[in-house]
Amino acid sequence: AAELEYESVLCVKPDVNVYRIPPRTSNRGYRASDWKLDHPDWTGRLRVTSKGKTAYIKLEDKVSGELFAQAPIDQYPGIAVETVADSSRYFVIRIQDGTGRSAFIGIGFTDRGDAFDFNVSLQDHFKWVKQETEISKESQEADTRPKLDLGFKEGQTIKLNIGNMTSKKGGAAKPRVSGSGGLSLLPPPPGGKIAVPPIPPPSSTAIANHVTPPPVQKSSNASSADILLDLDAPAAASKAPVSSTTDLWGDFSTASSAVPNQAPQQSNWVQF
């Protein structure tokens, strides 16, 4: 797996100063003011690379690219890279050679932005390393857990009960609303109103069964009592009820006065 890993470049800074630093005599940290900042011991190019989970700080010649020193980093922040107490542009790194020897040197950047980029590149790399470690750990734990067998066994069935659905045979019949006239209406939709059916017009049979009294023809014979009674009865009934004490002979005089166009005829009866 190590042979398949490739090296990627995280950050490149063209100007970096290297200083020989005195040994630390206390645990108060390194201070850049103790170095000879105006006279760096070496000047060149800095390149930060990564191969797998390990990052490398490489100090190279600006022209030829020859490697001057290299500092492998397995953890950040850690002993391999430390910041100084009095400045954000200077760091202390631990360089190593192929024989296992190591030494601590100081590096510094003229531009504060270059120091910021150098710090962020290391932080991003080891943040990615932490995430990869957590993911691989979770996958290993998942492999060790017993797997659930969710498949159906032989002969096993499942029954679903969906809502309040009923079969066609056993389903209840929908209620029907009976309207006027014996009509069967469907129930109204939600929020709707029941329309009252209109009253049917009278049929022609009922009109034919209605009895209309025949017209009464007027007769020129005013002396006939029956004809006079028939003519005067409807008019008297429409105006006022006839009193029970009225004389029967008074109908003749009323009937004769109701027909003014006819000439009065003599009658043997005496008018009272």
Is 77 part of any domain?
Answer: yes
Of residues 138 and 187, more confidence is placed in 138
Mean pLDDT, range 231-236, rounded to an integer: 47
The Cα–Cα gap between 217 and 221 comes to: 12
The Cα–Cα gap between 196 and 182 comes to: 12
Is 227 part of any domain?
Answer: no
The DSSP string of 224-270 is -HHHHHHHHHHHHHHH-PPPTTS-TTHHHHHHHHT--SSPP---SSP
pTM attached to this predicted model: 0.51
Residue type, 65: G
Is 123 part of any domain?
Answer: yes
Range of the domain at 72: 7-134
Of residues 180 and 112, more confidence is placed in 112
* Cα dist from 142 to 131, 134, 135, 147, whole Å: 17, 12, 11, 9
Is 235 part of any domain?
Answer: no
Which residue from 73, 69, 50, 51 is spatially nearest to 59, judged by alpha carbons? Answer: 69
Read off the CATH number of the domain in which 49 is found.
Answer: 2.30.29.30
Residue type, 215: P
Is 164 part of any domain?
Answer: no
Task: Say how many domains are in the chain.
Answer: 1
Is 11 part of any domain?
Answer: yes
Is 30 part of any domain?
Answer: yes
**For 27-57, what is each residue's pLDDT tens digit?**
778 888 888 888 999 999 999 999 988 999 9
Which residue from 82, 77, 71 is spatially nearest to 28, judged by alpha carbons? Answer: 82
Beta bridge partners of 69: 59
Beta bridge partners of 56: 49, 72
Mean pLDDT, range 54-70, rounded to an integer: 92
Is 40 part of any domain?
Answer: yes
Please report the pLDDT score of residue 201 as a whole number: 62
